Structure 1
């Protein structure tokens, strides 16, 4: 495994590339998930905001909404959930095109670092929420092997995003230990 240094505080291990079998498992499972993309996306974001309320600070439109039911009905949240699901869909459809994947991640990374000023750790947190929701909502689809493939993909996404943040000179890649 290739190791990447993050500001001397964190070691990010770049996962090995996805195998053809892992790509196929991700794509097959995603087809079933994407049929309900809006509902799944909303579930993911509501879970993120309920379990990690600090993540709402980046969303002026709904950062003060406390009730999960109200979050679910919020048009801006639904719109952002749809954008997230579309981005994941593009990644999943492009697993055999590393340039396309890199391009999508660069756009997402740059926007979140420069425009939205989102701490990169939230990509790691979101990855965990995505895995949790997919496992709960699609237990017959997201088997342990499929979950392992998704874990590897999302770890790769996180490593790529943090590398983009570093290239942009982002200095808060982790909380300082001390």
Structure 2
């Protein structure tokens, strides 16, 4: 299985390719079925877990989460309630993405809009891809041996698509802000 970065570098982010160019029919089925399995097993803490894992890997990004952090002893500490809420929104977004795989025009528009709103929080395009390992680890932790390498690759392709459209929104908003 390649890394997102290696796979992502093969994608021309300026084109208008939709999800079918990122995901094979078999991968589509794997994503749909794994999301059902994930929803049966997941709890309300998974979004919080993802962001805590993300901050373990990239503590420098805590400063971007001003609404989910608090300063304590001159250090940024996670406000778990607010980060849990944000994590739940992200998980709902993933679920909506899975539900919208058949309508990638709609999904693209939502993702571009999300990117635009995140640009206002100083999220940069190169940061987006860094969330994938935390999401992958959450799937792996939740599904265990049911999270096969084929399933991981399928989800990686979904995330590539989502990241491409999200980045499109970040760039679009950055141009408007100038």
Q: Give TM class, smaller chain.
A: 0.7 to 0.9
Q: Return the structure number with greater relative CO, CA threshold 8 A, min gap 6.
A: 2
* Contact 1:87/1:104, CA 8 A, preserved across alignment: no
**CA displacement, residues 113-150 of structure 1 (integer Å, 9 cap, x when unaligned):** 1x212122222011121112212331222101100101
More helix by share: 2
Deviation at residue 111 of structure 1 after TM alignment: 0.6
**How does the TM-score come out when normalised to structure 1?**
0.77
1:37–1:92 distance in 2 versus 1, CA, 3 Å: farther
Instruction: Map 1:8-157 onto structure 2 (within 5 A).
Output: 16-35=21-40, 36-60=42-66, 61-62=68-69, 64=71, 71=78, 74-113=80-119, 115-157=120-162
1:65–1:51 distance in 2 versus 1, CA, 3 Å: farther
* Contact 2:27/2:154, CA 8 A, preserved across alignment: yes
1:169–1:75 distance in 2 versus 1, CA, 3 Å: closer
Give 4+ residue runs of structure 1 displaced > 3 Å after superposition: 63-66
* Contact 1:18/1:149, CA 8 A, preserved across alignment: yes
RMSD: 2.6
1:15–1:58 distance in 2 versus 1, CA, 3 Å: farther
1:140–1:111 distance in 2 versus 1, CA, 3 Å: same
* Contact 1:41/1:84, CA 8 A, preserved across alignment: yes
User: Where does structure 1 lack aligned partners over 5 or more consecutive residues?
Assistant: 6-13, 171-178
User: Where does structure 2 lack aligned partners over 5 or more consecutive residues?
Assistant: 1-9
